[in-house]
Every structure is written in structure tokens, then in C-alpha cells.
């Protein structure tokens, strides 16, 4: 067979199989030189009992077992023949290489269709043969499935590591690694490739505003309105994003406006819900939306007048009603009980930092505005009005951290609801890239409040998103602090360097039993090196992530160089100014 990539001769053998288990073998290596060249986690090829097949294994343990002092002593006493060294390599079998199956040549499968026999030869997988093997492994994803290229294999820098891009996004993925390990660069590399597709579609939640440097026709930038945007008159078409209060779910409104520790909290929430429903009904009636009136609920995305709601609640707070005696008056049921709610509403409404919610420009109160928002955020490149920018990068850097979970999850929730209400077959799949996910999809959330409602949204997307074509990519430096429910739905992991044991455990659980040892690599990975595990790649592999074309603005500061610089910088004054203005 001319195309076969394995053509070993007996003299190439490293050693022979001495013991066989279900999925592991022990290979005896007589040649000490060859043993020295072996390394843990390298690949080997074993002769199979079936013709045209080879088994592929990964080195787990290398042991050089010299005779013990006692044995040597015995040998000297008895004068019997020398006791040989028992040098062994323990190999875990990870798959079968098949030279031909029907019309297909050179296939790698993650199943073990046979086990090696005792005395079968074991060959090192290195040099050209390794390159060719790696190509086979990665190109399998290429035959029909679309390819996603993250970089090259650490075992062989010439072999490009492709992932099956469909599987990567279909069942959620995670990019994890300690701070500075290269997550943002990896994300930039993903974004770049999505942006090049004719109808790519993704949203990147850019919490610190690091991705502003990513450019290209396939990329569109949005910024959640900061204080300096409020009077600028800029809106959706300028890339300034508002998220008007009427898009919040009722629970979110309660979390924002009602103090749960207040004795009157239940009354306040109840009155607010009544007033909001009434205000939404009024809006629908005045706009002549009869079809919606019949079925709308408090959570329906219908604009309403918050000032009217405030006035109504304020009126109840000071309401006097007729008393028992004619002409007399007494305090109404809610008299004085709503003061805290009224005060909180006023605070929130006038808080400039929350201007993107409560001081949004008039256009956001128009009935058609939600449709425009959803179109811009959810259409792929080709389906955008200007046929540009299928990858939407949303900069959240000016959003106060206490409401961040609420805002991110609200946008995600809009995406999910629209996908859910799209007729099946007409959905355009979308990926949500969630950078710094531990901030808004945390493991330890409270049962009520802003975080609870954010978690609820992401749990739902993690569990049901696949059906509606919404994929999540969780990106975090603390995987152990990201919701288990969400992470357990992630079928692919790109694990960069992880130094914390709990975080390593999260990745370890993803590894197939026989490859658990690979987790040992996590703390010693170089910056930009990753262990890739999951159904998007045939073999868990150590990969060197290639640099993205445009780099995120997350550059590590060179302390010593900065301290050594001669020229002075005047930055403090403008920083203090920006802090006061809450805007850079
Ligand atoms: N693939 C790569 N090749 C070479 N250098 C890299 C690579 N990825 C990252 N680096 C280097 O590491 C630095 C930090 O990378 P990055 O910003 O992606 O880290 P991060 O994991 O996102 O950190 P954080 O958790 O703090 O956001 C980069 O500025 C760059 O110098
Ligand atoms: Mg980062």
C-alpha cells in the first residue's frame, strides 16, 4: 500500500509488549539508549493483531528497574547468569489507526478494535511519521466538517491542529487558564476566524474593553453607553448600546428597586407589578396593539412609562381615603409604606452611571426599537443591513460592576428568546463568547437578586441553547468559580496554564479516564499553550496557540522596563478626572 504512513521494520522497534490490560500495555525496552529518548505523554505505535491496523498509545510511565543490591549479591554468591534490567514503558492505548476502510485511507478512530498481542512490536511515533500522523488526525475534521485552526501541535510544530468547528460551538465550549495565560489572545483568534466566514455570527462580551483593537469587515463594535454618551445623541447606529429598563424582567426590576430587608418589601413588589402591568397595557392600548394585549404578561418586552409608574406609587404612598365618619379622612392602606421604594426609584432613575438603562434616548421607547436591536446583534455578516460585522463585540467597561450580571444576562436573554421564537429551520446560529464569565455566571450565587436572575438565564441557555442554535463559550481564569451547571454542559475545553488545584480539577474531570494523566501538564504549560479536550478534536492534544492577527489590548505591563524609562508621563491627573466623571 503506497499511501500507508506507517511502515516500520523490526529494527525500528523500541521494545516488545510484555503485559496487556484492557486499555494499557507494558512494553519492555532492552535498549537503554532508546529508553532514555522516551518521554511521558509522547505517542507510540503498536502492532495490532489485525492486518492493516495499528494501535496508538500514549506513554504514561517510564521505569528503569535495575537489579537490587540483594539480587546482585545473590548473583555474585551463586555465580548464576546476570539478572537483566527490567526497563519498562507503560502505555495507555488511545485509538486505532486503520490503513483502509472501504474507499477511505488512513483513518484514526478513538476506539480500540483490537489489543496488541504479547511480544508485539512497539515503535516510537516521531519525526516525519508523527507529522503525517498528526495531519491525518487533524485532517479528518477537514474531509467534510468545517475546520477551526487554533495553532500547531506541541509534539510537532509543523502539524496544524484543526478542530471540528461544528462540534466546538454546538455543545458549548470553555477557554480556561490563569491570568495572563493567553485566554484573550485565544479568543481573538476564534473571533478572527468567525469574522472571516461569509455569514459568521457571534457576540463577544468584552468586560474590560480589551478587544477594541480587533478590526475587520466581519467585526462590529458596540459600547454600552457610559456617562459621556448620555447627551451625545448617539444610538444603536453609532454603536452605542442602551438597554432600557423596560427590557428588564420583573424579577430584575424588583432586585434593582426593592430592598428585600424592608418590612414592606412584599407590598412594594406587589404594587410595582400592578403599576407596571397597567403602564404596559396603556402603552399597548394607545399604540393599537390589540393582538398583543390579549396575551401580554409583566415580563413581555413592551415599553412603558417609568415616570408614570413612579408617580402612581408615590401617590399611593401619600394617599388619604374617606374615613368612617362622613367628611373625615384616614391614611390609605399603603400610606408611608412605599417611601423606600419611591426613594430608590428616584435614585436609580437619576443615577448617571445607570443612564444606559434609565436615561436612554427616546428612540429606545419606540415599539420597533427592539427589533432593530435584535437585528443588529443577532444577524450574521451577510444578513446585516450593510453586509458587515457578524461578530459583535460589546464593550461593558463603563457598566458598574454591581449591575454587570444583570445587563450581560439581559442581552443574552434577548438573544435566546428571539432564537426560541424563530421558526425552526430559519434560525441563524449564534455563539455567545463570555469573557470573565466568573463575574456573571458564578458558582455561588444567591437564591434571589441580580445574580440569581443572571444565573437562571445562563443555565437555561447552557441546557437548551443547543436546540435553538445558541452556543456559549465560557472564558474564565477561575473555572472553579464558574457555575458547575454551565461548565458541565461544555463539551470542549481549551485549557491554558492553570496553577490552582481546584481549577485543574475542573479540567481533569473532562479528560477520559485513561488520559487523566494529561492534567499534570496544566500547571507547566507555557503562555499560549493549551490542552485541548473534547469532541471537537480526535485526540486530547497539547497545542501552541498561534498569535491572532490583531492582538487584544491586554498586554502585560513590563514593570522593570517601565521603571527604567527616562521620559516622564503625566497620567494621574487625567485618571483622577476620569474616575470622578466615571468615564475615560
Ligand atoms: N498564543 C500566544 N503566543 C504568544 N504570546 C501569547 C499568546 N497568548 C498570550 N500571549 C502573551 O500573554 C499575554 C497575556 O495574554 P492574555 O491577555 O490573552 O491573557 P488572559 O489569559 O486573557 O489573562 P486575563 O485572565 O488576565 O484576562 C499577552 O499580552 C501576550 O504577551
Ligand atoms: Mg483576558
Fold of 160-243+365-553: Rossmann fold (3.40.50)
Name beta bridge partners: 89: 27, 62
Q: What is the pLDDT of residue 149?
A: 87
Q: What is the pLDDT of residue 454?
A: 86
Written as one string, the DSSP assignment of 280-308 is: HHHHHHHHT-HHHHTT--TTS-----HHH
Residue 511 has pLDDT above 90, yes or no: no
Cell numbers given for 101: 476502510
- 111 confidence band (pLDDT: 50, 70, 90): confident
Q: Is any ligand 1 atom within 6 A of the Cβ of residue 124?
A: no
What is the pLDDT averaged over residues 541-549? Answer: 92
Q: What is the pLDDT of residue 447?
A: 67
Q: Is any ligand 1 atom within 6 A of the Cβ of residue 554?
A: yes
Question: What pairing do the DSSP bridges indicate for beta strands 391-395 and 202-206?
Answer: parallel
What is the pLDDT averaged over residues 271-276? Answer: 92
CB 514 within 8 A of CB 94: yes
Residue 258 has pLDDT above 60, yes or no: yes
Lookup result for grid cell 506507517 = 6
Residue nearest to atom 24 of ligand 1 (CA): 179
Q: What is the pTM of this model?
A: 0.86
- 1 confidence band (pLDDT: 50, 70, 90): very low
Q: What is the pLDDT of residue 54?
A: 93
Residue 559 has pLDDT above 90, yes or no: no
Half-sphere exposure of 401 (CA within 13 A, CB side): 5
Q: Is any ligand 1 atom within 6 A of the Cβ of residue 555?
A: yes
Task: Tell which residue, 50, 35, 45, has the closest CA to residue 7.
Answer: 45
CB 486 within 8 A of CB 479: no
- 82 confidence band (pLDDT: 50, 70, 90): low
Q: Is any ligand 1 atom within 6 A of the Cβ of residue 185?
A: yes
Q: Which helix (H) or strand (E) holds 3?
A: none
- Residues of CATH 2.40.30 domain(s) within the chain? 10-125
Reduced to 3 states (helix: H, G, I; strand: E, B; else coil), residue 18 is strand
Residue nearest to atom 6 of ligand 1 (CA): 528
For residue 527, which ligand has an atom nearest its CA? Answer: 1
Q: What is the pLDDT of residue 240?
A: 93
- Ligand 1: nearest atom to the Cα of 179: 25
What is the pLDDT averaged over residues 505-519? Answer: 82
For residue 552, which ligand has an atom nearest its CA? Answer: 1
Rounded to whole angstroms, what are the CA distances from 192 to 90, 169, 200, 550, 556? 41, 15, 10, 9, 21
Q: What is the pLDDT of residue 248?
A: 92
Question: Which of 306-310, 431-435, 554-558 shows the lowest per-residue confidence on average (mean pLDDT)?
Answer: 554-558
Question: What pairing do the DSSP bridges indicate for beta strands 43-47 and 53-63?
Answer: antiparallel
Q: Is any ligand 1 atom within 6 A of the Cβ of residue 527?
A: yes
Query: What CATH number was assigned to the domain covering residues 10-125?
Result: 2.40.30
Please name the residues in contact with 369: beta carbons below 8 A apart, sequence gap of 6 or more: 236, 303, 363
Using the mean position of ligand 2's atoms as its centre, give its distance from the Cα of residue 396 in Å: 14
For ligand 2, a single-atom ion, which residues have Cβ within 5 Å?
Answer: 183-184
Written as one string, the DSSP assignment of 146-183 is: -EEEEEEETTEEEEEEEEEHHHHHHT-EEEE-STTSSH
Residue 448 has pLDDT above 70, yes or no: no
Residue 88 has pLDDT above 70, yes or no: yes
Residue 215 vs residue 84, higher pLDDT: 215
- Residues of CATH 3.40.50.300 domain(s) within the chain? 160-243+365-553
Q: Please write the tens of the pLDDT for every residue from 419-438.
A: 999 998 889 999 999 999 99
Using the mean position of ligand 1's atoms as its centre, give its distance from the Cα of residue 527 in Å: 7
Residue 230 vs residue 66, higher pLDDT: 230
Residue 473 vs residue 508, higher pLDDT: 473
Residue nearest to atom 13 of ligand 1 (CA): 180
Q: Which helix (H) or strand (E) holds 232?
A: none
Amino acid at each position: 500500500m503506497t499511501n500507508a504512513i506507517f511502515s516500520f521494520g523490526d529494527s525500528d522497534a523500541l521494545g516488545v509488549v510484555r503485559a496487556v490490560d484492557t486499555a494499557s500495555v507494558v512494553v519492555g525496552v532492552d535498549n537503554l539508549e532508546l529508553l532514555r529518548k522516551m518521554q511521558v505523554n509522547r505517542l507510540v505505535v503498536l502492532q495490532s493483531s489485525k492486518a492493516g491496523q495499528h494501535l496508538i498509545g500514549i506513554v504514561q510511565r517510564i521505569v528503569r528497574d535495575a537489579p537490587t543490591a540483594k539480587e546482585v549479591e545473590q548473583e555474585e554468591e551463586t555465580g548464576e547468569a546476570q539478572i537483566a534490567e527490567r526497563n519498562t514503558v507503560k502505555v495507555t492505548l488511545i485509538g486505532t489507526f486503520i490503513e483502509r476502510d472501504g474507499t477511505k485511507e488512513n483513518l484514526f478512530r478513538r476506539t480500540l478494535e483490537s489489543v496488541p498481542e504479547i511480544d508485539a512490536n512497539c515503535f516510537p511515533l516521531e519525526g516525519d511519521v508523527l507529522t503525517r500522523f498528526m495531519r491525518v488526525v487533524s485532517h479528518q475534521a477537514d474531509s467534510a466538517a468545517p475546520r477551526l485552526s487554533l495553532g500547531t501541535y506541541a509534539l510537532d510544530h509543523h502539524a496544524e491542529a484543526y478542530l471540528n468547528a461544528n462540534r466546538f460551538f454546538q455543545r458549548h465550549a470553555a477557554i480556561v487558564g490563569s491570568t495572563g495565560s493567553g485566554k484573550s489572545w485565544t479568543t481573538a483568534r476564534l473571533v478572527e476566524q468567525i469574522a472571516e466566514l461569509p455569514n459568521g455570527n457571534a457576540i463577544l462580551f468584552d468586560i474590560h474593553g480589551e478587544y477594541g483593537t480587533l478590526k475587520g469587515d466581519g467585526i462590529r463594535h458596540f459600547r454600552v453607553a457610559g456617562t459621556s454618551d448620555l447627551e451625545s445623541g448617539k444610538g444603536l447606529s453609532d454603536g452605542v448600546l442602551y438597554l432600557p429598563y423596560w427590557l428588564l424582567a420583573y424579577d430584575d426590576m424588583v432586585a434593582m428597586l426593592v430592598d428585600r430587608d424592608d418590612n414592606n418589601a412584599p407590598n412594594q413588589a406587589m404594587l410595582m407589578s400592578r403599576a407596571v402591568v397597567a403602564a404596559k397595557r396603556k402603552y399597548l392600548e394607545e399604540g393599537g396593539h390589540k393582538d398583543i394585549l390579549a396575551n401580554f404578561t409583566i415580563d413581555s418586552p413592551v415599553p412603558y412609562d417609568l415616570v408614570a409608574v413612579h408617580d402612581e406609587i408615590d401617590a399611593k404612598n401619600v394617599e388619604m381615603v374617606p374615613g368612617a365618619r362622613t367628611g373625615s379622612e384616614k391614611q390609605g392602606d399603603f400610606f408611608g409604606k412605599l417611601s423606600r421604594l419611591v426613594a430608590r426609584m428616584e435614585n436609580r432613575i437619576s443615577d448617571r452611571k445607570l443612564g444606559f438603562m434609565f436615561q436612554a434616548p427616546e428612540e429606545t421607547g419606540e415599539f420597533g426599537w427592539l427589533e432593530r436591536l435584535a437585528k443588529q446583534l443577532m444577524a450574521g455578516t451577510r444578513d446585516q443591513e450593510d453586509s458587515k460585522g457578524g461578530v459583535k463585540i460589546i464593550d461593558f467597561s463603563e457598566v458598574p460592576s454591581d449591575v454587570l450580571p444583570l445587563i450581560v444576562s439581559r442581552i443574552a436573554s434577548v438573544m435566546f428568546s428571539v432564537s426560541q421564537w424563530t421558526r425552526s429551520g430559519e434560525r441563524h446560529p449564534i455563539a455567545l463568547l463570555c469573557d470573565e464569565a466568573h463575574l456573571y455566571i458564578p458558582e455561588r450565587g444567591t437564591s434571589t437578586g441580580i445574580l440569581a436572575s443572571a444565573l437562571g438565564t445562563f443555565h437555561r441557555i447552557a441546557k437548551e441553547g443547543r436546540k435553538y442554535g445558541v452556543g456559549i463559550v465560557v472564558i474564565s481564569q477561575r473555572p472553579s468559580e464558574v457555575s458547575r451547571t454551565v461548565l458541565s454542559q461544555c463539551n470542549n475545553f481549551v485549557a491554558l496554564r492553570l496553577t490552582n488545584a481546584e481549577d485543574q480539577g475542573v479540567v481533569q474531570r473532562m479528560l477520559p479516564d485513561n488520559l487523566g494523566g494529561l492534567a499534570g501538564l496544566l500547571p507547566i504549560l507555557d503562555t499560549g499553550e493549551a490542552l485541548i479536550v473534547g469532541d471537537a478534536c480526535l485526540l486530547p492534544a497539547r497545542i501552541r496557540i498561534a498569535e491572532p492577527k490583531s492582538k487584544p489590548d491586554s498586554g502585560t505591563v513590563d514593570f522593570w522596563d517601565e521603571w527604567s524609562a527616562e521620559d516622564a508621563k503625566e497620567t494621574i491627573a487625567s485618571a483622577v478626572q476620569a474616575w470622578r466623571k466615571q468615564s475615560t
